[in-house]
């Protein structure tokens, strides 16, 4: 369990160990410590990319521990697992380079501001359960799901960290491991110690949920007070789910995939306010702080940013803005053959957006996966596509004449075509300014789309041949400045390319996704405030 010195336990600046020397990196500040290692924020001397560096205690077991943690995560790629990069040498012992999660941990957030709301808890539990389901399906356990090991990017995305205890399913370890209070009180034991099974991770996940809602570690079943007595606003389905997952009998606990489905249905997710817990250097890039503004401030903010559609011309567009790029790491490793490209927009703060923003990003170092040549040719020839020998993102184009009137139409169903076109143009050109005329400022769609563009810019990647079309559009409800519209969004085949125009990966088939768009009328045009799965 990683401890953050500003907020957890009895850590203080006086506890800070001597700074390590790391060839090729600048050590910027101490992030915290655990039982086996200290963690530092480091930046590459060339390029300045930031990482978390885990420096293991200088003892005989340090190198095997570093090697084992790296091997445990080798090839693992999930949007809510902290990325482990490579081993490095330091003057203080072996180290491990990790993705830097600038938003701190669940532990530091609760220490700084108290328990989370139900909506924030759903935001954390759903993707962490999905990450555990991914691990369990691959024959691995985590072994220490706890508040110190659930971290946040500056965009508010939860990440499960620290695989130092994890093992293959069914293996044994000699000690109990894990964080006290976040492991079953009566683990099953084999001849060589505790037998690692996924049910222990589920217990820890439920204990994490209890801790986020109450600020306390759950007691054993016989001494544990009813959750809805301690926190009356917790909905009954969430109470029942956590109690089932905390059951003494492992067989009564749900599997991780079922846990994720059930917890997501208990309440609408909301971004976790991280502002009280982060280091001052992180605060300016903290997206969830901006999302938490009240509605009046958000409307004023959006009105201030938004430009008239008439002035959106290629020559007037700003350069791509990298929002929170320090928290978006290069994602190495190989993606499974045939796996759909993972969208950064599967943020927990925008879980319902995954289908709308989906099928997008693969990090550098991903295997070039050949696709259907005919489909790739279709992607290059698609409207708004780019030629195969292009080496940089295309410039943004002005809104087509036939869509100018649609963008300001009174009928929300008519406006959807312009919204889809502008959003696609923003993704193609990596221009966040176009999003001001697509999404409500501070909304989950704005957060998700901004992170996609930020990640593309930080990776120096871009999309070739991406095009979308809104079909079967129908207004479900329209009251004053609010509307709900059903539509099927069709996405063309496209390619992801690197800075030199090289092929990273292809989406070789067109996609069709039924969606429900919740729109808000602002400044004479409809904007997207929420996206829901239409299935």
| DSSP for residue 282 | T
Q: Are residues 286 and 260 in the same domain?
A: yes
d(CA 125, CA 117): 12
| Per-residue pLDDT, 107 | 93
Q: Are residues 429 and 489 in the same domain?
A: yes
Which residues share a beta bridge with 90? 93
d(CA 311, CA 194): 65
Q: Are residues 201 and 342 in the same domain?
A: no
- pTM as predicted: 0.55
Q: Are residues 286 and 215 in the same domain?
A: yes
Which of 242, 269, 292 is at the close of a domain? 292
Q: What is the mean pLDDT of each run of 10 residues along the chain (535 residues)?
A: 41 71 91 78 86 77 52 67 87 87 92 94 94 90 91 88 59 59 66 64 96 94 88 95 95 94 90 85 63 39 34 30 30 28 30 35 34 35 47 82 91 94 91 92 84 81 87 92 91 84 78 88 92 72
Contacts of 282 (CB under 8 A, 6+ apart): 102, 103, 154
Which of 226, 259, 292 is at the close of a domain? 292
Q: Are residues 264 and 282 in the same domain?
A: yes
d(CA 56, CA 70): 13
| Per-residue pLDDT, 216 | 93
| Per-residue pLDDT, 75 | 58
Q: Are residues 197 and 145 in the same domain?
A: yes
* Domain containing residue 86: CATH number: 1.10.510.10
Cβ distance 527 to 417 under 8 Å? no
Q: Which DSSP string corresponds to 476-533?
A: EEEETTEEEEEEEEEE--EEEE-TTS-EEEEE-S-EEEEEEEEEEEETTEEEEEEEEE
* Number of domains present in the structure of the chain: 2
H or E element, residue 193:
strand 193-195
Q: Are residues 505 and 357 in the same domain?
A: yes
Q: Are residues 354 and 418 in the same domain?
A: yes
Helix (H, G, I), strand (E, B) or coil at 39: strand
Q: Are residues 306 and 237 in the same domain?
A: no
Q: Are residues 374 and 284 in the same domain?
A: no
Cβ distance 179 to 203 under 8 Å? no
Cβ distance 6 to 31 under 8 Å? no
Q: Are residues 34 and 94 in the same domain?
A: yes
Phi, psi of 3 (to 5 degrees): -105, 135
d(CA 168, CA 501): 39
| Per-residue pLDDT, 522 | 93
| Per-residue pLDDT, 384 | 43
Which of 228, 260, 292 is at the close of a domain? 292
Range of the domain at 308: 299-533
Q: Are residues 247 and 323 in the same domain?
A: no
Q: Is 140 exposed, middle or buried (0-12, 13-18, 19+ CB in 10 A)?
A: buried
* Domain containing residue 409: CATH number: 3.10.450.50
State the residue for tokens 């389905």.
237
């Amino acid at each position: 369990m990683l401890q953050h010195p500003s907020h957890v336990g009895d850590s203080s600046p006086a506890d800070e160990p001597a700074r390590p020397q790391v060839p090729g990196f600048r050590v910027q500040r101490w992030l915290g410590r655990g039982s086996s290692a200290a963690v530092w924020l480091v930046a590459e001397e060339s390029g300045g990319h930031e990482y978390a560096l885990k420096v293991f205690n200088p003892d005989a077991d340090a190198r095997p521990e570093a090697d084992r943690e790296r091997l445990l995560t080798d090839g693992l790629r999930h949007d809510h697992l902290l990325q482990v990069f490579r081993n490095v040498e330091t003057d203080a012992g072996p180290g491990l380079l990790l993705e830097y999660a600038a938003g701190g941990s669940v532990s530091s957030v609760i220490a700084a501001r108290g328990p989370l709301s139900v909506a924030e808890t759903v935001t954390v539990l759903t993707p962490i359960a999905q990450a555990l389901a991914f691990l369990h399906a691959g024959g691995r356990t985590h072994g220490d799901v706890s508040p110190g090991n659930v971290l946040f990017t500056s965009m508010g995305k939860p990440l499960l960290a620290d695989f130092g205890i994890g093992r293959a399913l069914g293996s044994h370890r000699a000690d109990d491991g894990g964080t006290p209070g976040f492991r079953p009180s009566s683990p099953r034991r084999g001849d060589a110690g505790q037998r690692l099974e996924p049910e222990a991770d589920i217990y820890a996940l439920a204990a994490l949920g209890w801790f986020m809602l109450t600020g306390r570690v759950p007691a054993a079943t016989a001494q544990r007070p009813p959750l809805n007595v301690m926190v009356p606003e917790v909905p009954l389905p969430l109470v029942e789910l956590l109690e089932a997952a905390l059951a003494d009998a492992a067989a009564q606990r749900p599997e991780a995939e079922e846990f994720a489905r059930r917890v997501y249905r208990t309440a609408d997710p909301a971004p976790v306010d991280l502002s009280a817990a982060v280091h001052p250097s992180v605060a300016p890039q903290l997206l969830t702080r901006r999302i938490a503004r009240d509605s009046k401030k958000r409307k004023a903010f959006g009105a201030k940013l938004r430009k008239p559609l008439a002035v959106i011309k290629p020559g007037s567009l700003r350069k791509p803005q990298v929002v929170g790029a320090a928290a978006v790491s290069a994602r190495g490793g190989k993606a499974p053959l045939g796996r759909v490209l993972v969208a950064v927009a599967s943020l927990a703060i925008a879980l319902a957006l995954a289908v709308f923003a989906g099928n997008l990003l693969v990090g550098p170092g991903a295997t070039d996966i050949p696709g259907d040549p005919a489909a790739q040719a279709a992607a290059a020839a698609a409207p708004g596509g780019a030629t195969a020998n292009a080496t940089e993102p295309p410039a943004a184009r002005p809104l087509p004449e036939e869509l100018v009137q649609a963008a300001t139409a009174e009928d929300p169903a008519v406006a959807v075509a312009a919204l889809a076109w502008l959003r696609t143009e923003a993704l193609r050109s990596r221009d966040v300014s176009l999003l001001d005329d697509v999404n409500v400022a501070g909304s989950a769609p704005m957060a998700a789309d901004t992170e996609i563009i930020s990640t593309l810019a930080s990776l120096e990647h871009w999309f070739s041949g991406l095009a979308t079309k809104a079909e079967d559009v129908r207004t479900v409800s329209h009251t004053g400045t609010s509307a709900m519209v059903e539509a099927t969004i069709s996405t063309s085949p496209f390619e992801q390319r690197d800075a030199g125009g090289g092929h990273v990966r292809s989406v070789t088939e067109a996609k069709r996704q039924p969606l429900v768009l919740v729109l808000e009328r602002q400044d004479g045009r409809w904007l997207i405030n929420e996206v829901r799965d239409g299935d």
